[in-house]
Structure 1
Amino acid sequence: MLSFRKALIIAAVLITLILFLRSSHPSSAAVASSPETVAYDISQETKERPSDQDANYLQQTLKKPPPPSTAPLRERLRYHFSYNLDAKFPAYIWQTWKYTPASLWFSQDLRGPEASWTEMNPKFVHQVIPDETLHHLIKYLYGSIPEVFEAFDSLPLPVLKADFFRYLILLARGGVYSDIDTSALKPVVDWLPDGLDLSTIGFIVGIEADPDRPDWHDWYSRRIQFCQWTIQAKSGHPILIDIVSYITEEALRMKKAGILKKGKMDKTIVEFTGPAAWTDAVFRYFNDPEYFNIEPGSTRNITYEDFTNQVDYQKVGDVVVLPITSFSPGVQQMGAQDVNNPMAFVKHDFEGTWKTDPSL
């Protein structure tokens, strides 16, 4: 028989999931009244009516049958989460934590940072997904690709699931993901200059670390490390396809080998789901001839040298790379400027809350 406390927990999970699904489909009236939707879509389902040419293309696309379950994982992900560069950036802000802000157990230290995202972006849909809901949400979003959910559900540590979740939610829904211990310094719509054509941009990533010193490998995993605590993307972006495929395949490989367990894995958190794996995925995209015009036989690769000491925006294909100041202002190293700098958009408190998790 269920105890009263367990019944309350189950009821809270179901209510949270219902509210999430409702907020994921705002009315067309709400979209029309939002000034941000000039550049940002609140929902893929509320796009403007397509032209006849677009409608024909859409009709042909809808007739195409889904790939079989035996097709490569990347092919199936691309089918179910197609990437449309011309689409608007979805106006979602995603965060995750042990509890929702409505809970009595939500940390007081996190209330200010969490609220800053809503205050700075009042027309965005801002969701803090609690741990108890993650399982149900990922199962709902990836029901058509069961191995992705299996990989997520099999991860033995909360920090691994938190890492994986940010890639999964952005792949499926797009928008902004930011860690719960970050504060918004500027509205999302002000992150890019007015003259930049958003129909040519599908991804925004910031530099986390640029350790220009001989012993950099003693402190960081990569010479240039891209930030994963704040990311903005249009749904279906190839970088997200890549990182989701990589984590899924590695998780299932280790599960089959019987080592997907705490203290048994043959990859560190940083290399499995964290900033090293993330940085590698971004660089793989920059050097993929499927997406970039790379001359046959050329030895020219995009490397850390293209981003070290960066102080302004840099556009690489459909990706905008922001300098270290944008998501790491005030760290007093590696060229990062203060929080009042015009390029400072998000402040990270570096609480390392996952390190206090008793399961680690």
Structure 2
Amino acid sequence: MERWRVANLEYNHNLITLDEAEQQIIDYFSYDMPEVIEAYRSLKDTRLKYDFLKYLVVFTSGGVYADIDTLDAKPLRYWYQSTLKPTKLMVGIDVDYNDVNWDILYNRRLTFSTKVFRSKSHHPFLAKLIARIVYTSYNSAEEIAKIDWNQAYQNVDSNDEPLIQFTSASIFTDTLFDYFNDLSNPVVHRVARTEKDLIPEQIFGPETSSIFSYKLFTLARGPTQVDDIVVMPQLTFKGPTTGYHKGDLNSQSYDSEYDDENEKDFYYYARPLHFLSWDSLVQNEKDKQLLSN
């Protein structure tokens, strides 16, 4: 938490408790869209509520959302900004397993991370995501109520994502692909740093006729822009495979530390540290980090 604050002194760093987040969404949605609050309150498992809350809070406030146990490896002022069209949503690739046996290990061929993401307030993608969760909570209420969520959260893929879910990475990913495919003539630009990034190796995965699918983003080494959304490579919010990270809490070191565009970890911005267990989150109420300027 201290690293996020010290590295980004020009931003407001907010640690949002569960009660504060709930009150924020009640104040915002209860008058014009009470069904959002009803859907939130209908969720019987706290883990579902946590996931839904972060989308609601970022939709209302905008900013950078980060799970409490994530490392800020690069200050926000060094994060990528598109020169083609202002970036209003930034997400990173979480899983990109280009292997013939991908479906044995993961829910999706490619998923986007919900551990760290950045958005302007009221982005239409988040509105679509919230609407889908509300719709599901209403139309599948009986089925959801029958699920043993403790058991469901133990049955996970290789990324520790529950195989049954409707508030986390799977729905986030599915909804973002749907959003991309619904856009009319969007700007599409892939920042390629090498020829290998322009022409990927053999791609494994399911057949699809969609214009926007995992095939556009797989094996990316740089940002990919679709309209006002930028998708960062897997390195950005998952970190190097070596587990290496540099820097300390001394904010004076950042200016000289991150100005070399040729560094192999140039697009490395943040990563989860997995310090916290679910039991500790239940006991302490999982705080939310939100940075806005």
TM-score, normalised to structure 1, is 0.59
Q: Distance in 1 between matches of 2:114 and 2:231?
A: 12
8 Å CA contact 2:187–2:226 kept in 1: the answer is no
Q: Distance in 1 between matches of 2:240 and 2:146?
A: 37
Cα deviation for residue 153 of structure 1 reads 1.5
Question: Please, which of 121, 130, 136 is the counterpart of residue 250 of structure 1?
Answer: 136
Q: Distance in 2 between matches of 1:157 and 1:172?
A: 23
Q: Confirm or deny that 1:344 pairs with 2:268.
A: yes
Question: Please, which of 132, 147, 154 is the counterpart of residue 19 of structure 2?
Answer: 132
Q: Confirm or deny that 1:163 pairs with 2:51.
A: yes
CA 1:152 to 1:290, structure 2 compared with 1: closer, same or farther past 3 Å? farther
Gaps of 5+ in 1: 1-113
CA 1:358 to 1:128, structure 2 compared with 1: closer, same or farther past 3 Å? closer
Question: Please, which of 226, 238, 245 is the counterpart of residue 328 of structure 1?
Answer: 238
Q: Confirm or deny that 1:216 pairs with 2:102.
A: yes
Query: Helix, strand or coil: the match of 1:260?
Result: helix
Q: Distance in 1 between matches of 2:279 and 2:167?
A: 15
Instruction: Pick which of 201-210 and 349-358 moved more.
Output: 349-358
Higher relative contact order (CA 8 A, sep 6+): 2
The list of structure 1 runs, each at least 4 consecutive aligned residues, that deviate by more than 4 angstroms after superposition, is 267-270, 355-359
Q: Confirm or deny that 1:120 pairs with 2:44.
A: no
Which is higher, the Rg of structure 1 or of structure 2? 1
Which residue type is aligned with residue 125 of structure 1? Answer: N
8 Å CA contact 2:22–2:53 kept in 1: the answer is no
Q: Distance in 2 between matches of 1:168 and 1:357?
A: 20
Which residue type is aligned with residue 273 of structure 1? Answer: T
Q: Percent identity?
A: 28
8 Å CA contact 2:85–2:227 kept in 1: the answer is no
Instruction: Pick which of 200-209 and 130-139 moved more.
Output: 130-139
Structural mapping, 1:129-278, within 5 Å: 129-143=16-30, 144-193=32-81, 196-197=82-83, 200-255=86-141, 257=142, 259-260=144-145, 263=148, 271-278=165-172
Q: Distance in 1 between matches of 2:183 and 2:134?
A: 24
Cα deviation for residue 357 of structure 1 reads 5.8
Cα deviation for residue 189 of structure 1 reads 2.1
Query: Helix, strand or coil: the match of 1:272?
Result: coil
Which residue type is aligned with residue 130 of structure 1? Answer: T
Cα deviation for residue 278 of structure 1 reads 0.5
Question: How many residues of Structure 1 are paired with residues of Structure 2 in the alignment?
Answer: 234
8 Å CA contact 1:156–1:261 kept in 2: the answer is no
RMSD: 2.7
Which residue type is aligned with residue 207 of structure 1? Answer: I
Q: Distance in 2 between matches of 1:262 and 1:156?
A: 10
Query: Helix, strand or coil: the match of 1:218?
Result: helix
Query: Helix, strand or coil: the match of 1:140?
Result: helix
TM-score, normalised to structure 2, is 0.72
Q: Residues 97-125 of structure 1, C-alpha deviation per residue, up to 9 Å, x if partnerless?
A: xxxxxxxxxxxxxxxxx111111111211
Q: Distance in 2 between matches of 1:281 and 1:175?
A: 20
8 Å CA contact 1:225–1:279 kept in 2: the answer is yes
Q: Residues 154-200 of structure 1, C-alpha deviation per residue, up to 9 Å, x if partnerless?
A: 2111211111111111111111111001011111121115xx33853
8 Å CA contact 1:135–1:153 kept in 2: the answer is no
8 Å CA contact 2:24–2:57 kept in 1: the answer is no
Gaps of 5+ in 2: 154-161, 189-208, 247-264, 284-293
